[in-house]
Chains A and B, each alone.
Chain A
Amino acid sequence: MFERFTKDAREVVKGAVAQAEEERARTVDAGHLLLALLGREAGRGSSVLAALGVTARRDSMIRALAEARRLAGLSQAETEALAGLGIDVARIVARVEEVHGAGAMSGSPKGKAWWGGGRPSFGREARTVLEKSLRVALARRDRSIGDQHLLLALTTLPGVPAEVLADHGVTYESVTRVLDGGGEARAG
């Protein structure tokens, strides 16, 4: 599958690994792929984000991703499903942070890689994004898999990245609108 990835898509994947390493995370996840995508200026995916007016709001997206990571990496939908059971995620995280420090529930503690170090592995979630990007490319009858397909995959898979993207006006529909010629489309 990987040989069908464009140079831009490969750069995003490499960037995601670098991002995970920087956070000393055990695994590369979908959030790292989105951060890598947001950090790039070249590529169709990046130009779609620019066309949707997201580039200027990049910091807001990065903050939203970091906050979700702090809250155990759960999406809004998951947090609310737990609230339905009477489980207050924010409160649990606050309690744990009181004892174990800020970011304790983020799954990527700063400092020494406590599990023994080594390169982060590509997690199941990140692999799902890559597989989905292949299916998206096939459905759109594109020959290769570019960073725009990674972006489309991220908008469709339930979880924090899709929620953060949607909150900033980036959905499967708005991305395909830009890709299919409506270059003037705006987020929102």
Chain B
Amino acid sequence: MTEATDLAEQAGDRDPRVGLRAVAALRRLLEQLEAVQVRSARNQGWSWQEIAAELGVSRQAVHKKYGRR
């Protein structure tokens, strides 16, 4: 049995470590998903403006994160 399930069993869902770890993991998963979708949109010729609008962030934010450096 691995650490996370051990923790969960020891302390139930109230152990903040498990909850916080899940949030951090979710953020990493989200970052990967975003990168995949942004890349796909760019490959299909979407503008940064269009991508930003769908993501609900500013064009600058998307471009700064994924644009040419």
Which residues of A are at the interface with B, using a C-beta cutoff of 8 A?
Answer: 72-74, 76-82, 84-85, 87, 89, 92, 96, 100, 104-105, 107, 109, 114-116, 118
Contact = CB atoms under 8 A, between A and B. Distances in A.
Interface string B4-28: 1100100001000010011011101
A157 to B, nearest CB: 14
B67 interface: yes
B21 A73 contact: no
Contacts of A77: 2-4, 21
B33 to A, nearest CB: 7
Chain B interface bracket (under 10, 10 to 19, 20 to 34, 35 or more)? 20 to 34
Interface of A is mostly: helix
B2 A78 contact: no
Interface of B: 2-5, 8, 13, 18, 21-22, 24-26, 28-29, 32-33, 35-36, 39-40, 42-43, 66-69
B24 A78 contact: yes
Contacts of A105: 32-33, 36
A115 B67 contact: yes
Across chains A and B, which 10 residue pairs bring their CB atoms closest together, nearest first?
A: A116-B68, A78-B25, A80-B4, A81-B22, A81-B21, A72-B32, A77-B4, A105-B32, A81-B4, A82-B25
A40 B28 CA distance: 30
A109 to B, nearest CB: 7
Interface centre among A76, A77, A89, A116 (most CB of B within 10 A): A77
A114 B37 CA distance: 12
Contact of B69 (A74, A85, A100, A115): A115
Contact of B35 (A74, A81, A85, A107): A107
